[in-house]
Amino acid sequence: MGKIRDRIRKSYFIVNKLYYLILFLFLTITDFSLGFYYFLLSLIIFGYKTLRSKIPIEVDKDFKPETFVYKELKDRNLKLDLWLPSNKKKYPVVFFCHGGGWISGFRNQPNNVSWCKYLASKNLAVVSIDYRYGYKNTMEDILSDYSDALEFVKKNHEALSIDKDRIVLMGLSAGGHLSLLYSTYYTKTGNSEKMEGIKGVVAYYAPSDLRDIFIADNKSIFSRFATRKTLKADPEEKEDIYRYYSPITYVSKNMIPCLLVHGREDQVVPFNSSIKFAEKLKEYNIKYRFLVHKKGEHSFDTRRKDLSTVNILEGTLRFIKSLVE
């Protein structure tokens, strides 16, 4: 009975919440108004959960970020938020990148803000960035935004009250992928200018090999759609493109210290993707830690309030502090 229950829980029907769609269609056929109100209620509930999403560690101090434009484009300005403990000295900085499958999310949504407040409360400056989405743009565009935001921070370090020689890259999901790809690529190619001041990288539930998104066990329609949309290609037809944009391709003996965090029950980015990356780091004798939530799903850090999640958050802080203090 337990195996059947687990199989149902990991099915397309449950993972992608298709039961909501079936109920919506049934109600619409029965009564259009009822179907409409159900759809509206579902949106309200989803929005409420999103707005309430945050890490399970409360911060007493009311931090207020300062916003900067780091890049001007024809159709929009790209911004970053700077979170500072105070303005008394130069702080080591966590360069934070949000998730959302490269096609959604933003720097100041509640889960990201909760991370920024937590890190700032521990005497770390935090820079949280926005970047272009993969709908109309390419992965190369997104990577250029990531790089330009980092260069903006380094160039303006004096005005921002941060220490450009003590930087840790950090990202969630797609943001973790960007952080890993930046650090693996530029350490592999020996670009000391790009890597100047960067002491380590933290990646939460990030795909290290983009082909892992398409394994049979991964049931997330969203993650497959988002990856295809951003790379503009199917993995079977353009495997070379998937390899090119996969961090695991560039792991070398020059890689900086790395913290990987993943939940075993992740149905969006396969847990095995982080296992493979950890094995690659071990092969090259790179300093790393791998924190695992045994029951964690994707985004468990803001969905779960259990002791295991809190321990992982505190372990993340200790890892960052060990690199910059």
- For the stretch 85-113, pLDDT in tens is 986 779 999 999 999 999 999 999 999 99
83 and 112 Cβ atoms separated by less than 8 Å: no
Token pair, residue 49, equals 């959960």
pLDDT of residue 229: 94
pLDDT of residue 110: 92
* 135 belongs to a structural domain: yes
Is there a single domain that holds both residue 10 and residue 150?
no
Is there a single domain that holds both residue 174 and residue 315?
yes
* 54 belongs to a structural domain: no
Is there a single domain that holds both residue 68 and residue 41?
no
* 44 belongs to a structural domain: yes
**Continuous H helices in the chain:** 2-9, 12-15, 18-30, 32-52, 110-120, 139-155, 157-160, 174-188, 192-195, 221-231, 239-244, 271-283, 300-303, 307-324
Is there a single domain that holds both residue 44 and residue 115?
no
Average pLDDT, rounded, for the chain: 88
320 and 308 Cβ atoms separated by less than 8 Å: no
Is there a single domain that holds both residue 33 and residue 173?
no
Is there a single domain that holds both residue 124 and residue 259?
yes
Is there a single domain that holds both residue 104 and residue 206?
yes
Is there a single domain that holds both residue 71 and residue 34?
no
Among 82-91, 92-101, 169-178, 300-309, which is the least confidently predicted range?
82-91
pLDDT of residue 240: 96
Is there a single domain that holds both residue 181 and residue 314?
yes
Mean pLDDT of 125-154: 97
pLDDT of residue 25: 54
Is there a single domain that holds both residue 143 and residue 254?
yes
Q: CA torsion angle for 48, 51, 57, 58 (degrees, to 10)?
A: -100
Give residues with Cβ within 8 angstroms of 50, minimum separation 6. Answer: 109, 110
Distances (CA, A) of 31 to 27, 267, 278: 6, 34, 53
pLDDT of residue 269: 97
- Domains of the chain: total: 2
20 Ramachandran zone, left/alpha/beta (phi>0; psi -120 to 50): alpha
* 188 belongs to a structural domain: yes
Last residue of a domain, one of 49, 70, 85: 49
Is there a single domain that holds both residue 172 and residue 253?
yes
* 237 belongs to a structural domain: yes
Is there a single domain that holds both residue 28 and residue 65?
no
Distances (CA, A) of 51 to 2, 14, 63: 33, 23, 18
The residue segments making up the domain with residue 7 are 2-49
